């Protein structure tokens, strides 16, 4: 992949993953407030009608038996009421026009009327749905690694990953006063260790587990913990081999810290003391990375293993570096939950990293920690059934099977489209033997590192923007602007439209589209 490292330049702070989109996407129409939801409709429909039917049947057969009749109707009424209640817990908030039906169903006394009323309020608690739905003419925003591809999987898991939090739970700042990371929920600690043991992608024995508000916060925590303590010391140099994740320079420099300073491409670094960031598989280009400066004495490394999971690459060994960063955003797709974790060998480093999170945000959302624990448990259950599931021969859905299937499918679609276009090239496919699946598997990176070969295109990102495809320029990764990074993790509809547009590119079409290019370049 050496060819991909040409034209490496350090970039200044300010450019960042979610940024371009915060701006760009704001041009799109707002997301629908209450998206219709198949499961929910099904849930509301079936059971009720079953019971009413049963009641009717009983009524028809009713002989002169008043006491029995009463018993039956009381019983049926109870069924209907409890089921109606139950549905509010299993179903997502139904669209407004369904409310009254529901509250009437449970309105058998003033008490339950009040309850129904309060539940009716609850249905107004509408969660966001992320980026708006797309149409064939939409702007397709693949600038960020928004992992909405995984929603389809979690919709199929029923209540296995559903979280219920009573109003009085986890109100304290503290989770475990006996743990170095005193704000870490013990359940998350356990589920993180369990999943790594199940997958075999990282060593956990003898490691401290730390939780952060996404792995970005733990990245900053690591820089803080690895910086020289002496007030007199110069800021330590932070480096990574180009192309490197565009947020590394931005996050390192945005506060102009006197503790650490971005120093660009590791492969051209000259100094002695440094922190090398090793992202493997690498964001943006999916290559498997090793530290390049590891030999030097004053050197420290942070391994960002956000993408070292079976849906993206072969699990070839159990990673056992000093500091390893992971996140649910890329492993399970729960980016909105903002939970990352670090596996840290050294106690003193773990304490300093914990101190950073304490000073930065006084700990990490316990609601999200519990949700992450729930989700990781559901993933492990798929491959290592719990005793309870095993007893009854049940098996939870398997996330990595789903993820691998989708990624293989999408990569073959993309390679076909690039070939059809005649002007785009992609990194060649690599593969390895996966100890988790026990078979040879190709790498299917979460991002495509796409190069435009047209002589008249020296800025691939703005060329694609001219075709209403938002990507991130290679320049932001310290690389050649003829490259762009494209997210492979968006919803099916967006990905399909992207691939269709890409395959329709022909030399010269760029000009034909000059107008819309102009439009987009002036926003």
Is 358 exposed, middle or buried, given 0-12, 13-18 or 19+ CB atoms closer than 10 A? middle
Region near a second copy per CB under 8 A, out of 264-272, 357-365, 467-475, 510-518: 357-365
Residues 2-31 that bind a second copy (CB under 8 A): 13, 16-19, 21-22, 25-26, 28, 30-31
Whole-Å CA distances, 8 to 18, 103, 205, 479: 22, 62, 38, 5
Based on the shown chain and the rule CB under 8 A, indicate whether residue 135 belongs to the binding site for a second copy. Answer: no
Closest CB to a second copy among 305 and 434? 305
Distance CA 141, CA 130 (A): 12
Select from 64, 121, 230, 515 the one that contacts a second copy (CB under 8 A): 121
Based on the shown chain and the rule CB under 8 A, indicate whether residue 146 belongs to the binding site for a second copy. Answer: yes
Over the window 214 to 233, marking each residue x when it contacts a second copy by CB under 8 A and - when it does not, the resulting string is: x-xx--x---x------x--
Over the window 33 to 52, marking each residue x when it contacts a second copy by CB under 8 A and - when it does not, the resulting string is: x-----------------x-
Based on the shown chain and the rule CB under 8 A, indicate whether residue 113 belongs to the binding site for a second copy. Answer: yes
Please provide the DSSP assignment of 177-225 as one string.
Answer: TTSSSTTS-HHHHHHHHHHHHHH-SB--TT-EEEEEEHHHHHHHHHHHH
Distance CA 307, CA 399 (A): 14
Determine the size of the site formed for a second copy (CB under 8 A).
141
Region near a second copy per CB under 8 A, out of 120-128, 280-288, 289-297, 416-424: 120-128
Select from 258, 298, 508, 514 the one that contacts a second copy (CB under 8 A): 258
With the CA atoms of 296, 268, 479 and 13 taken in that order, what torsion angle do they form, in degrees rounded to the nearest 10? Answer: 70
Element (H, E) at 279: strand 274-279
Least separation in angstroms between CB 290 and a second copy: 27
DSSP state of 48: H
Closest CB to a second copy among 7 and 132? 132
CA 169 to chain centre: 26
Least separation in angstroms between CB 279 and a second copy: 16
Based on the shown chain and the rule CB under 8 A, indicate whether residue 56 belongs to the binding site for a second copy. Answer: no
Region near a second copy per CB under 8 A, out of 195-203, 367-375, 407-415, 495-503: 367-375
Least separation in angstroms between CB 512 and a second copy: 29
Select from 1, 41, 79, 296 the one that contacts a second copy (CB under 8 A): 79
Least separation in angstroms between CB 496 and a second copy: 18
Identify whether 328 is preceded by a cis peptide bond (ω within 30 of 0): no
Residues 375-434 that bind a second copy (CB under 8 A): 375, 377-378, 381, 386, 388-389, 391-394, 396
Encode burial over 465-500: b for 16+ CB neighbours within 10 A, e otherwise. bbbbbbbbbbbbbbbbbbbbbbbbbbbeebbbbbbe
Based on the shown chain and the rule CB under 8 A, indicate whether residue 183 belongs to the binding site for a second copy. Answer: yes
Partners of 265 in the β-ladder: 240
Least separation in angstroms between CB 385 and a second copy: 9
Region near a second copy per CB under 8 A, out of 264-272, 329-337, 478-486, 511-519: 329-337
Based on the shown chain and the rule CB under 8 A, indicate whether residue 342 belongs to the binding site for a second copy. Answer: no
For 523, residues 6+ apart whose C-beta sits below 8 A from its C-beta are 24, 27
User: Residue ranges of the alpha helices (H) in 91-109?
Assistant: 99-106
Q: Do 506 and 422 meet the contact criterion of CB atoms below 8 Å apart?
A: yes
Least separation in angstroms between CB 292 and a second copy: 26
Cα dihedral 130, 136, 137, 140 sign: positive
Based on the shown chain and the rule CB under 8 A, indicate whether residue 254 belongs to the binding site for a second copy. Answer: yes
Over the window 439 to 468, marking each residue x when it contacts a second copy by CB under 8 A and - when it does not, the resulting string is: ------------------------------
Element (H, E) at 55: helix 38-61
Region near a second copy per CB under 8 A, out of 122-130, 278-286, 400-408, 454-462: 122-130
Select from 44, 134, 150, 486 the one that contacts a second copy (CB under 8 A): 150
**Ramachandran area for residue 141 (φ above 0: left; ψ -120 to 50: alpha; else beta):** beta
Based on the shown chain and the rule CB under 8 A, indicate whether residue 510 belongs to the binding site for a second copy. Answer: no
Residues 482-501 that bind a second copy (CB under 8 A): none
Residues 279-308 that bind a second copy (CB under 8 A): none
Based on the shown chain and the rule CB under 8 A, indicate whether residue 138 belongs to the binding site for a second copy. Answer: no
Select from 168, 206, 232, 512 the one that contacts a second copy (CB under 8 A): 168
Partners of 261 in the β-ladder: 237
Residues listed for the chain: 523
* Residue whose pair of structure tokens reads 């690039």 in the numeric block: 418
Closest CB to a second copy among 255 and 519? 255
For the chain, the straight-line distance linking the first and the last C-alpha, in angstroms and rounded, comes to: 35
Q: Do 464 and 479 meet the contact criterion of CB atoms below 8 Å apart?
A: no
Distance CA 140, CA 500 (A): 12
Distance CA 313, CA 440 (A): 10
Least separation in angstroms between CB 158 and a second copy: 8
| Greatest Cα pair distance in the chain | 97
Region near a second copy per CB under 8 A, out of 358-366, 442-450, 492-500, 507-515: 358-366
């Amino acid at each position: 992949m050496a060819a991909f490292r040409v034209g490496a330049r350090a970039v200044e702070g300010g450019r960042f993953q979610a940024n371009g989109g915060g701006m760009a996407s704001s041009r799109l129409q707002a997301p629908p407030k209450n998206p219709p939801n198949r499961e929910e409709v099904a849930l509301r429909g079936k059971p009720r009608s079953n019971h009413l039917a049963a009641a009717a049947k009983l009524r028809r057969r009713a002989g002169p038996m008043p006491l029995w009749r009463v018993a039956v109707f009381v019983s049926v009424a109870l069924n209907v009421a409890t089921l109606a209640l139950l549905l509010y817990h299993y179903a997502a908030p139904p669209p407004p026009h369904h409310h009254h039906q529901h509250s009437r169903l449970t309105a058998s006394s003033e008490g339950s009327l009040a309850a129904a009323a309060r539940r009716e309020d609850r249905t107004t608690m509408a969660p966001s749905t992320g980026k708006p739905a797309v149409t064939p003419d939409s702007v397709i925003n693949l600038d960020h690694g928004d992992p909405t591809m995984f929603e389809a999987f979690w919709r199929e898991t029923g209540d296995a990953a559903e979280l219920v939090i009573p109003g009085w739970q986890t109100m304290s700042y503290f989770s475990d006063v006996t743990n170095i990371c005193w704000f870490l929920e013990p359940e998350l600690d356990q589920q993180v260790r369990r999943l790594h043991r199940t997958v075999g992608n990282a060593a956990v024995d003898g490691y401290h587990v730390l939780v952060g508000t996404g792995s970005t916060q733990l990245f900053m925590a690591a820089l803080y913990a690895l910086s020289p303590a002496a007030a007199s010391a110069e800021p330590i140099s932070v480096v990574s081999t180009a192309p490197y994740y565009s947020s590394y320079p931005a996050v390192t420099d945005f506060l102009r810290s006197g503790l650490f300073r971005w120093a660009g491409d590791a492969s051209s670094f000259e100094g002695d003391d440094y922190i090398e960031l090793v992202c493997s598989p690498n964001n943006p280009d999916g290559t498997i990375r090793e530290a390049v400066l590891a030999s030097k004495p004053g050197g420290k490394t942070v391994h960002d293993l956000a993408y070292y999971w079976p849906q993206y690459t072969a699990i070839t060994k159990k990673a056992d570096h000093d500091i390893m960063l992971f996140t649910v955003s890329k492993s399970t797709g729960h980016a909105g939950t903002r939970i990352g974790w670090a596996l840290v060998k050294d106690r003193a480093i773990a304490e300093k990293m914990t101190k950073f999170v304490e000073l930065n945000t006084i700990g990490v959302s316990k609601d999200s920690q519990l949700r992450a624990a729930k989700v990781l448990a559901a993933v492990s259950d798929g491959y290592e059934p719990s005793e309870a599931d095993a007893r009854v021969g049940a098996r939870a859905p398997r996330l990595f099977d789903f993820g691998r299937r989708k990624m293989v499918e999408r990569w073959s679609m993309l390679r076909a489209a690039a070939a059809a276009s005649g002007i785009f090239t992609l990194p060649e496919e690599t593969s390895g033997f996966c100890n988790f699946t026990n078979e040879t598997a190709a790498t299917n990176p979460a991002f495509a590192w796409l190069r435009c070969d047209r002589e008249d295109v020296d800025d691939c990102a703005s060329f694609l923007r001219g075709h209403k495809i938002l990507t991130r320029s290679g320049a932001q990764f310290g690389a050649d602007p003829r490259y762009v990074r494209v997210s492979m993790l968006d919803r099916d509809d967006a990905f399909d439209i992207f691939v269709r547009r890409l395959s329709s590119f022909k030399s010269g079409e760029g000009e034909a589209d000059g107008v819309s290019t102009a439009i987009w370049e002036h926003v």
